[in-house]
């Protein structure tokens, strides 16, 4: 069953589906998006020379039917629909079908328009036009799991026998971690580092591209670091017990805001010293071209 849930910046929610009061009738722009190809003519050469290609913004069109129980409820629902799709407020559109749940950030281009000649006194057809500046959908069925880059591995097994060299747990750190990006394009990620002992000049290293993101400085026990390489949300933050604050100035100049390429990626947490006392996690959202 298809279902669309729209949530605006003020947390107002509208659901369109096969159930009243907002019936989903049709949708466009959910699958394909234009590829803008830039090229140039060269004297004496047939055709054109390729320069660049990028996806256009995504335009989404939704047609529905508002079904009230009576004329009074119709106008109340009509008002709530227009209020939710306020062109002055950004929003998030969540689309669900039989294969998964997908999400995209949008801006209403026009408040819902009603076809006054299509319907009765308390049910009318309406059109909604949205635009997504970032044309990629987030596949929500592929996320919501932290992938450990350095982790604590329990050593308890039963039956339990305590010996002089017994270890209750072991910290696994510094390994090369294989990460699968099953989306259609490279994406950023959020890296969280929990410092369990003095950590000197930590860095996130991409084994395949040999790119890295590094911080300068020594971070004490109990410190948390958070590095976001997401589009439009690039941040470097630290929490030493008093809340998160910006430490972008500690970023090493040559550092790259690492992206996870489509397919398999190999990442490693490194440092001049202290990796053996550190746990770290990565969270990312695969992006897809259409649904």
| pLDDT interval class at 145 (50, 70, 90) | low
Selected residue with higher pLDDT from 93 and 176: 93
| pLDDT interval class at 160 (50, 70, 90) | very low
On whether the CB atoms of residues 111 and 83 are closer than 8 A, the answer is: no
Global pTM? Answer: 0.75
What would the mean pLDDT of 258-264 be, rounded to a whole number?
92
pLDDT value for 119: 67
Domain chopping of the chain, boundaries? 3-38+50-135, 142-288
Average pLDDT score over the chain:
85
DSSP structural state of residue 108: E
On whether the CB atoms of residues 125 and 64 are closer than 8 A, the answer is: yes
**Which residue is listed with tokens 């400085």?**
217
Beta-carbon contacts of residue 109 (< 8 Å; ≥ 6 apart): 59, 87, 129, 130, 131
Structure tokens belonging to residue 59: 């335009």
What percentage of the chain exceeds 90 in pLDDT? 48
pLDDT value for 196: 87
* Terminal-to-terminal C-alpha distance of the chain: 14
**Which residue is listed with tokens 């695969």?**
286
- Evaluate the omega torsion of the peptide bond into residue 227 and state whether it is cis, within 30 degrees of 0: no
Enter the CATH code of domain 142-288. 2.60.120.860
Q: Is domain 3-38+50-135 in CATH 3.30.310.50, yes or no?
A: no
| pLDDT interval class at 62 (50, 70, 90) | very high
What are the φ and ψ backbone dihedral angles of 184, each rounded to 5 degrees? -100, 0
Distance CA 77, CA 192 (A): 43
């Amino acid at each position: 069953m298809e279902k669309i849930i729209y949530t605006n910046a003020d947390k107002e929610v509208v659901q369109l589906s096969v159930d009243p009061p907002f019936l989903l009738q049709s949708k466009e722009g959910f699958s394909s998006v234009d590829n803008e190809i830039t090229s140039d003519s060269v004297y004496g050469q047939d055709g054109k020379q390729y320069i660049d290609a990028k996806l256009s913004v995504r335009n989404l069109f939704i047609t529905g039917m508002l079904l009230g129980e009576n004329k009074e409820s119709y106008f109340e629902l009509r008002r709530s629909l227009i209020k939710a799709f306020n062109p002055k407020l950004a929003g998030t559109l969540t689309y669900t079908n039989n294969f998964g749940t997908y999400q995209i950030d949008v801006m209403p281009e026009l408040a819902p328009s009603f076809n006054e000649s299509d319907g009765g006194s308390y049910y009318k057809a309406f059109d909604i036009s949205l635009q997504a500046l970032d044309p990629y959908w987030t596949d929500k069925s592929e996320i919501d799991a932290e992938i450990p880059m350095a982790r604590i591995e329990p050593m308890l097994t039963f039956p339990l026998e305590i010996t002089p060299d017994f270890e209750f747990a072991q910290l696994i750190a510094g390994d090369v971690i294989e990460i699968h990006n099953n989306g259609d394009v490279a994406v950023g990620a959020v890296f969280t580092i929990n410092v369990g002992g003095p950590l000197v000049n930590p860095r996130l290293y991409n084994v395949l591209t040999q790119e890295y993101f590094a911080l300068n400085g020594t971070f004490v026990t109990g410190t948390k670091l958070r590095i976001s390489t997401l589009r439009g949300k690039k941040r470097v933050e630290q929490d030493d017990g008093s809340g998160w604050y910006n430490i972008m100035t500690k970023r090493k100049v040559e550092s790259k805001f690492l992206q996870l390429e489509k397919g398999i990626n190999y990442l490693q947490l490194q440092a001049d010293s202290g990796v053996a006392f550190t746990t770290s996690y990565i969270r990312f959202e695969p992006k897809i071209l259409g649904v």
